[in-house]
Structure 1
Amino acid sequence: MLVKCPHCQKFNRLPTERLSEKPNCGACKSSLLAGPIEADQASFQEILRTSKLPVIVDFWAPWCGPCKMFAPTFQASAIKHGEKILHVKLDTEANPAIGQQYNIRSIPTLAIFKNGSEVERISGALPPAQLEQLISKII
């Protein structure tokens, strides 16, 4: 899969099984997990299947106002906790089959997965303190 470096914006080819190994950017050597991973139809299931770390998924859409307001909170959480829990963003507009598969009825919706199975779900844009509580409960 291709992962965009959150620091220098260069794309890095990264096998999904290496996501749990704290990978660094080939260009700037910064952590590739210090920001959300943008998943698509092809990479989403692979991330869930191969990740040894818990995965928090932000199901969102570009036209959604609350999703846009929540994005900086999710980004800050990824910077803070990126090496303990994978932060993944999935655009439900571009990937409707995944939204249907996981029965996403409102956005933003956060789903937490461990070992490929969903363990928790919360709908709505969370304030930073509430997201922090959720993540501290998982890691």
Structure 2
Amino acid sequence: MADPLQVVCPHCDAVNRVPAARLADRPVCGACRKPLFEGRPIALDETGFRRHLRADSLPLLVDFWASWCGPCRAMAPEFEAAAATLEPGMRLAKVSTEEAPALAQELQIRGIPLIALFRDGREVARQAGAMPARQIIAWARQHAG
């Protein structure tokens, strides 16, 4: 990763420049002064997903889910636990396929829950099915490169 990194604020969507060596120092947004990382996934709509995908230097791990999906609800706390371990090295986000059906169709999301890892604006890996936190962490690290 180049230094400094671009990190999109999960609160106001401002793009911040953060030296890679300072990611673990609890950086705050230059615009809204809120933490750039809180150790939990952020909820993104289609616009927010595209902003993070386009402007953030960090790998983006997305959980595609729906409220009616039992396995999705079962995996939610596991994905949250994974965020506490994986941030700030990557951004974890959740995208509801109910609220962003066009995005789900564009990305050819056929089954949920599905996690997908994006780097440099493109998808690099995906995995369908509910997983425990330790498996999410191992999978993400394996594919983050």
Normalised-by-shorter TM-score class: 0.7 to 0.9
Q: Distance in 1 between matches of 2:115 and 2:61?
A: 7
- What does the per-residue CA deviation read over 1:88-130, in whole Å, with 9 as the maximum and x for residues that have no partner? 1000001100000000000001100010110001000112232
Number of residue pairs matched by the alignment: 128
What are structure 2's unaligned runs of at least 5 residues?
1-7
Q: Distance in 1 between matches of 2:126 and 2:39?
A: 23
Q: TM-score, normalised by structure 1?
A: 0.81
Residue in 2 that maps onto 1:6: none
Q: Distance in 2 between matches of 1:32 and 1:133?
A: 20
- How big is the alpha-carbon RMSD for the aligned residues of Structure 1 and Structure 2? 2.2
Which aligned runs of 4 or more in structure 1 are off by greater than 2 angstroms?
Answer: 20-27, 29-33
**Residue 82 of structure 1 pairs with residue 87 of structure 2:** yes
Q: TM-score, normalised by structure 2?
A: 0.78
Residue in 1 that maps onto 2:28: 24
What are structure 1's unaligned runs of at least 5 residues?
4-11
Q: Which amino acid letter does the alignment assign opposite residue 123 of structure 2?
A: E
Residue in 1 that maps onto 2:4: none
**Residue 135 of structure 1 pairs with residue 137 of structure 2:** no
Q: Distance in 2 between matches of 1:129 and 1:42?
A: 30
**Residue 51 of structure 1 pairs with residue 56 of structure 2:** yes
Residue in 2 that maps onto 1:61: 66
Q: Is the 8 A contact 1:61 1:67 kept in 2?
A: yes
Residue in 2 that maps onto 1:40: 45
